[in-house]
Amino acid sequence: MATTIEPRTTTTRVVDAKQGSVLLRDSQQNVRDAAETLEIGRSLFNLLDQPEREITVTLPVELDDGRVEAFTGYRVQHSRVLGPGKGGMRFHPDSDLDEVRGLAALMTWKCALLDLPFGGAKGGVVCDPSVLSTGELARITRAFANALTPMIGSREDVPAPDVNTDERMMAWFLDEYERRTGKHDPSVVTGKPIALGGIPGRGESTGRGVALITVAMLERQWIKPRNARVVIQGFGKVGSEAAKRLHELGVKVIGISDVSGGLYNPDGLDIPRIAQSIQCQPPKLLREYGGEDAQRISGEEMLSLECDVLIPAALEGVITAETAPQINAKIIVEGANGPTTAEGDRILDERGILVAPDILANAGGVVVSYFEWLQGLQGNRWTLDSVRTQLDARMRDAFEAVVSESERRKISLRQAAYVIAVERVARAVSLRWSPM
């Protein structure tokens, strides 16, 4: 008989809780469900549920006008039993500790599912990059690196880019870390420029993985990719790369959106033309596209378009109890972290809509980060063809493992993904830990 693990009062959230709290709650519930399926006892579950270390830092930074402002930064190391912590750092005005906790936990399960020798970590700085100059962003990044230096390293915790951060900021982070330590350590951070030890294909990796899982889900439903219609909510790093790759594979991308609105064409959008057009027109938003081959629609309308696959590839908490009933897709492929709340997931399941979970679908980025980490430790160079070949192989292996577990246990793909991940981490914890 499986052990029932009751929710803790400290993690219970009200319905109007901040999105970070919802993400944390849902992540913990997925782990709790997997633990019950695996009949994991309370003592071991407690070791899986709690983050290993949480760091909150104050970053005094001089702004361009001479004022000194204190920014808050977070780094949560959820688990390092399988290897050094791994996870991005985001700069966002709404970032909070609960959000970072939830995202760090997702990284633990994502790395375990893809069988990478990493644990899970995540970081965030509470700031609005849209109102900060390049110099101010550089000083915030360097201050964050300075504050985290005693707690990170290529064998301890390896940051990477995330929302509103990029390879240039990783270069600043690396430089500040090496200044503090006096050591050359390119593997302390991934997502770097190639000239500083970065790896080809890193920028496309998450979107490429999302596209691969999309095609795999279509084929599993006996839908030929060239006959499929796909809608992508979010046209940033992940959404745009997924759209480009799907277009190359002959999939009809009929809708895309970003914070400025959406574009729709039932016969398929010209993705390369749109991507090239908006790259030439700052602030690089879809509203700047002037072509007459696309109809403008709102972001809300985008979610309800009739299609074969919907890819939420922006921020978390998009598919909720309110929006899930409006979705007209056969398949959801989660390009973002935590785009579907627990309530939304239940509704999708009741409606028979298949979901490829985030810890599988968007794992391409951390897989290629692993290749970059290896490259730095070994002092060699990977080619783009090698990166793509190895990435595709790992994503296919993980997909097949999740489908097999789902069919064997007669559970959803999300439940199957968490069962595989939690079992791997639990086994490692059990081998390391013994009662005194």
What are 370-420's pLDDT values in tens digits? 999 999 999 999 999 999 999 999 999 999 999 999 999 999 999 999 999
Question: By percentage, how much of the chain surpasses pLDDT 70?
Answer: 95
Where do the domains of the chain lie?
Answer: 1-44, 51-184, 204-361
- Category of 222 on φ-ψ map: left (φ > 0), alpha (ψ -120 to 50) or beta: left
pLDDT at 280: 83
What Å distances lie between residue 369 and 197, 199, 254, 398, CA to CA? 12, 8, 31, 17
Cβ neighbors of 341 (< 8 A, separation 6 or more) are: 22, 26, 317, 319, 320, 321
> Which fold would CATH assign to domain 204-361?
Rossmann fold (3.40.50)
pLDDT at 435: 58
What Å distances lie between residue 229 and 11, 244, 266, CA to CA? 39, 14, 8
* CA gap 223, 176 in Å, rounded: 50
Q: What is the pTM of this model?
A: 0.92
The mean-pLDDT minimum among 21-25, 76-80, 186-190, 431-435 falls in: 431-435
Out of 3.40.50.10330, 3.40.50.10860, 3.40.50.300, 2.130.10.10, the CATH code matching 51-184 is 3.40.50.10860
pLDDT at 215 over 70: yes
What Å distances lie between residue 435 and 43, 45, 104, 422, 429, CA to CA? 10, 14, 27, 21, 12
Under DSSP, the state recorded for 319 is B
- pLDDT tens-digit map of 81-112: 999 999 999 999 999 999 999 999 999 999 99
Lookup: tokens for 411: 């559970």
- pLDDT tens-digit map of 192-205: 999 999 999 999 99
Q: Considering the chain, what is the average pLDDT of its residues?
A: 93
Which among 347, 307, 354, 346 is positioned nearest to 329, based on CA atoms?
307
Residues 86, 110, 122, 252: which is the catalytic one?
122
Residue 305 phi, psi (nearest 5): -65, 140
Would strands 68-79 and 119-125 be described as parallel, antiparallel, or unpaired?
antiparallel
pLDDT at 292: 87
Residue bearing tokens 């992508």: 232
**Does residue 240 or residue 288 have the better pLDDT?**
240
pLDDT at 20: 66
Q: In angstroms, how far is CA 3 from the centroid of its own chain?
A: 31
**Does residue 149 or residue 281 have the better pLDDT?**
149
* CA gap 87, 20 in Å, rounded: 16
What Å distances lie between residue 297 and 83, 256, 369, CA to CA? 45, 10, 35
Residue bearing tokens 């027109």: 281
- Which helix (H) or strand (E) element contains residue 61? strand 53-62
In the residue annotation, 122 being an active-site residue is answered as yes
* CA gap 411, 105 in Å, rounded: 22
Residue 318 phi, psi (nearest 5): -90, -40
Which among 399, 339, 340 is positioned nearest to 367, based on CA atoms?
399
pLDDT at 290: 83
Strand order in the sheet with 157-161: 53-62, 68-79, 119-125, 85-91, 157-161
The type of residue at 423 is E
pLDDT at 19: 61
- pLDDT tens-digit map of 11-63: 222 233 466 678 888 888 999 999 999 999 998 998 898 999 999 999 999 99
- 51-184 and 204-361, same CATH topology: yes
pLDDT at 2 over 70: no
* Paired residues of 161 in beta bridges: 89
Under DSSP, the state recorded for 188 is G
- pLDDT tens-digit map of 263-318: 999 999 999 999 998 888 888 899 888 888 999 999 889 999 999 999 999 878 99
* CA gap 277, 368 in Å, rounded: 28
